[in-house]
Structure 1
């Protein structure tokens, strides 16, 4: 029984290793994630400068996490679609557009959250 528990723990640690590798690949190689990550760093620094509340930090971090996660999923969808059907295909284009649309929703909501948090502090 102990061996099964050890394997479970080892497998979870490996899973984290692959997850962090994927996050690093996104940040290093994907232009859209670089933009989103840069925005996340900027608003995080701004949060410290303007001393936002704990609740504002929670909402801001959730918004950042949502945008980065959806952007990562969008990248995965695009890569899978390109791998399956490298040449242009209307349905593959629609799939990629829908995935990009999900990022747009997340980014718009994150921007609105940022405006709600920071406009009163800057005025």
Structure 2
């Protein structure tokens, strides 16, 4: 495997980590979701959820945070391209936010399936 390939992947990982840190530091919605992720992870340990439930929970956390990151990027690009209000840009931003909402709804449903029987 050529060294250039490996160094390219390491640079990509560095940029990915920097972007994730920047996202968490600058976006209130991601900060809230990160806090919820920590709480739900603590709940997973407390209620001793199964391996399959851990997989579902981790996938949901990743799905919601990824959707939020993409939504933030789409909104940033849209604002850069057209800083003033524009109906089409507004629709694009609404659709991106809607994707986050769908991911969050699915995550809440799965959390309910995992935790409601344990709580009650």
| Same fold per superposition (TM over 0.5) | yes
Which 4+ runs in 1 deviate beyond 4 A? none
Aligned pair 1:74/2:74, yes or no?
A: no
Q: CA RMSD in A?
A: 0.8
Q: Deviation string for 1:50-98 (max 9, x for gaps)?
A: 1100000000000110000011000000000000101111100000000
In the superposition, the TM-score normalised over structure 1's length comes to 0.96
1:39 to 36, 41, 44: 36
Matches within 5 A, 1:14-53: 14-53=11-50
- TM-superposed CA distance for 1:35, in Å, is 1.1
C-alpha separation in 2, matches of 1:26 and 1:111: 22
Runs of 5+ unmatched residues, structure 2: none
Aligned equivalents of 2:119 and 2:57: distance in 1? 16
Counterpart residue number, 2:94: 97
Unaligned runs of 5+ in 1: none
Tell me the number of residue pairs that the alignment of Structure 1 and Structure 2 aligns: 120
